[in-house]
Amino acid sequence: MRIWWLIISIFCFVPLHAEDGSQLWLRMKRNAVPAKVSLSKETKKTETMEIAIRELRDYWNSPTAVTLKVASDAPGRDGFALNRTNNGISVSSATDRGVLYGIYSLLRLQQMGDSLQVGQTVQEVPSYDLRILNHWDNPNGTIERGYAGRSIWKWDELPRRISPVYEEYARANASIGINATVLNNVNAKPEMLSTDMLRKVAAIAKVLRPYGIKTFLSVNFASPKVIGGLDTADPLDTQVQAWWKKKVAEIYRLIPDFGGFLVKANSEGQPGPQDYGRTHVDGANMLADVLAPYKGVVMWRAFVYQASSSDRACQAYEEFMPFDGQFKENVIIQVKNGPIDFQPREPFSPLFGAMRNTQVMPEFQITQEYLGQSIHTVFLATMWKDCLDSDTYQENGLTVAGATQRRTVPGATTAMAGVANIGDVRNWTGSDMAQSNWYAFGRLSWNTELPAANIADEFLKQTFSTDERFVAPVSQLLLRSWNAAISYMMPLGLHHIFAEGHHYGPEPWCNVPGFRKDWLPSYYHQADSFGVGFDRTTNGSGAVKQYHEPLSVLYNDVNTCPEEYLLWFHHVSWDYIMRNGQTLWDNLCYTYQFGVDETVRFVKTWENAKAYVDAERYEKMLQRFRRQAADAEWWRDACVLYFQQYSGEPIPAGCFTPKHRLEDLMRYKLRIDNYTAAGMDKLP
């Protein structure tokens, strides 16, 4: 009797196929009978090829036979060609990795309900050589700015136990063209380079390799001192150089295809060459020399700023431009998309247009540190496209994408980096919708020309449903979500008015006694009784001068500056008349309210999508959309009521009635102790 009761309860209460989001966009149905796949005569059956064969056998559900071919006349650099004739489909590439990307492209078509026609050929070559994730994961399992649990890298168990997650991770990345990964935080612990850790890294690299993924590490510039026992880390010291040489030799013995180093030096307290009176060139070139015999590269970050008098937005340019042309061939300067720090909206970093003789790569942030973390839905393809498509005016029509895809010397490596939003929760990214940003990063780094709308469609069709009644409205939601977030957080060029520390909610009033000025919101918004905004014109910090004409002139003039950057470049009076005839103050209020309205519409859109989504993901996302709408009101009230103290103006009649009182919001402190949920249940 008891046993029956138990069995009945199990069947009634435990759904057999609970949807946990763990499959990401890879939801092909496994074939009952393996598909027909063959290799052309000359093609070797490498481990990578075996994966390609297995994927097709298991998931290619068309009767059309597929032939895989590695041939020197096929597209190189990871590229591939798909070709359909009366005899079937051929997937060819100069490398087995290219074939793997080809078969994932084929499977993507199938999942989206599309197919190749007879006579049709598809040829693709990726935009960048390296399409690389940056994990900000620490050896103790925590993740800096991670909102999806703990690190997937289980250092305690490695190299003994190899978690099956590593291969799932490799496969997911390969399916969207990602071919490199930095395993650890740029705020790097020196012990990452200990022999013990390197053995663990090698074990991960071994799993990633057949999927075409190269392993990189972030290194702490003081490593020779901290773990090497030397009394200096001066890059010009021969003992220091010898230490790195030996360390790098050890790394390549363990990981023959190791990619190289990512370095955050002399930034936010990290050690660097300047500690010894040396320069970024001295530091980067020393490591580049050591890595060169192995074809390794150094990604040296330009994210540097000091608590100096100069505008923070100017500092990366000021520090790096003098060295343009002096970096070794295997150095890439890694530049964040905007001049400050992954804000909701920034103009592109002027370094992209300025550096002519240095290989520069964009760094985007997939993890939503400043965009609602794993609670708010903000589709970032739109933001990244905005940066990549920006004209730098260095030469006719040279965009950020163009400037970073161009090789400064023939042997140079091109790359695009994204700070991962991946953790060890079952659905990888906390929010099921946040998977779209990992997906978008892969697809865009593969092809910067892809429209954001196509990426949204691809993601939704593969991850949720191909039903147009679902795809059309939810894709619209995704495409509007970036603008919505800017509107309810920081419209018109406002930036960095986040709560100190967690960067989740608003705190334009934040003032920590003794804190660096450039870590406080008032440094950025400069609100006073006259107006608001940071004067970066030639009368102010002069940041506009770092852009080529006509941008420098355009940005410098309040009348021609694009309004989305108005308060980024100008300190503007509250009664300034905007292009739509409203005063700045009124426009600010209306824009905040527009952001709130959008989030309310998002909740409705999602409610209408219920019929097309499994109950688990539907419910989890619904909670998040609702919380996003409530947060939007929090943002609106906090910012508008705070700025009102300076403008002295009323909220325009009929615009909105605040839900909160400023003094309550100012007293409220969001405690985020568990980043997996980012305080889902906590609101002011």
Residues that bind ligand GCW (CB under 6 A): 136, 144-145, 186-187, 264, 268, 303, 341-342, 369
Q: Is 137 a catalytic residue?
A: no
Report the amino acid identity of residue 377.
T
Q: Provide the minimum distance between the beta carbon of 593 and ligand GCW in the complex, in angstroms, as a whole number.
A: 29
CA–CA gap between residue 103 and residue 615 (Å, rounded): 31
SS3 for 319-373, per residue? HHHHHCCCCCCCEEEEEECCCCCCCCCCCCCCHHHHCCCCCEEEEEECCCCCCCC
Contact 360, 327 (CB under 8 A): no
- For residue 506, list its beta bridge partners: 498
Name the residue nearer to ligand GCW (CB basis): 369 or 535: 369
Q: Is 268 a catalytic residue?
A: yes
Contact 331, 359 (CB under 8 A): yes
SS3 for 410-441, per residue? CCCCCEEEEECCCCCCCCCCCCCCCHHHHHHH
Q: Provide the minimum distance between the beta carbon of 128 and ligand GCW in the complex, in angstroms, as a whole number.
A: 20
Contact 646, 527 (CB under 8 A): yes
Q: State the DSSP string of 543-574.
A: GGGGSPTTHHHHHHSTTTS-GGGHHHH--EET
Tokens linked to 108: 């993507």
Contact 256, 293 (CB under 8 A): no
Name the residue nearer to ligand GCW (CB basis): 98 or 423: 423
Which among 96, 311, 341, 458 is annotated as catalytic? 341
Q: Over the range 592-607, which residues count as b (16 or more CB within 10 Å of their CB) and which as e?
A: bbbbbbbbebbbeebe
Name the residue nearer to ligand GCW (CB basis): 218 or 587: 218
CA–CA gap between residue 673 and residue 670 (Å, rounded): 9
Name the residue nearer to ligand GCW (CB basis): 81 or 262: 262
Name the residue nearer to ligand GCW (CB basis): 99 or 383: 383
Longest dimension (CA), the chain: 85
Contact 238, 246 (CB under 8 A): no
Q: Is 563 a catalytic residue?
A: no
Contact 309, 301 (CB under 8 A): no
Q: Provide the minimum distance between the beta carbon of 190 and ligand GCW in the complex, in angstroms, as a whole number.
A: 16
Q: Provide the minimum distance between the beta carbon of 523 and ligand GCW in the complex, in angstroms, as a whole number.
A: 15
Which among 96, 234, 282, 369 is annotated as catalytic? 369
What Cα–Cα distance (Å) separates residue 306 from each residue in 3, 273, 426, 635?
A: 68, 15, 39, 29
Contact 344, 365 (CB under 8 A): no
Torsion region of 528: left, alpha or beta (phi above 0 gives left; psi -120 to 50 gives alpha): beta
Q: How many CA atoms lie within 13 Å of 308's alpha carbon, on the beta-carbon side? A: 14
What Cα–Cα distance (Å) separates residue 138 from each residue in 80, 424, 505?
A: 36, 13, 25
Q: Provide the minimum distance between the beta carbon of 515 and ligand GCW in the complex, in angstroms, as a whole number.
A: 14
Please give the sequence-ordered ranges of beta strands (E in DSSP) within 398-530, or none if there are none.
415-419
CA–CA gap between residue 10 and residue 4 (Å, rounded): 10
Name the residue nearer to ligand GCW (CB basis): 145 or 150: 145
Q: Provide the minimum distance between the beta carbon of 340 and ligand GCW in the complex, in angstroms, as a whole number.
A: 9
Which among 191, 268, 468, 557 is annotated as catalytic? 268
Name the residue nearer to ligand GCW (CB basis): 134 or 481: 134
Name the residue nearer to ligand GCW (CB basis): 519 or 576: 519
CA–CA gap between residue 681 and residue 377 (Å, rounded): 17
Name the residue nearer to ligand GCW (CB basis): 131 or 145: 145
Q: Which residue is nearest to ligand GCW (CB)?
A: 341
Q: Provide the minimum distance between the beta carbon of 645 and ligand GCW in the complex, in angstroms, as a whole number.
A: 28
* Residue owning tokens 């978008």: 440
Three-class secondary structure of residue 634 per DSSP: helix
Do the bridges between strand 572-573 and strand 88-93 make them parallel or antiparallel, or are there none, so unpaired?
unpaired
First to last CA, the chain: 51
Three-class secondary structure of residue 509 per DSSP: coil
* Catalytic center residues: 268, 341, 369
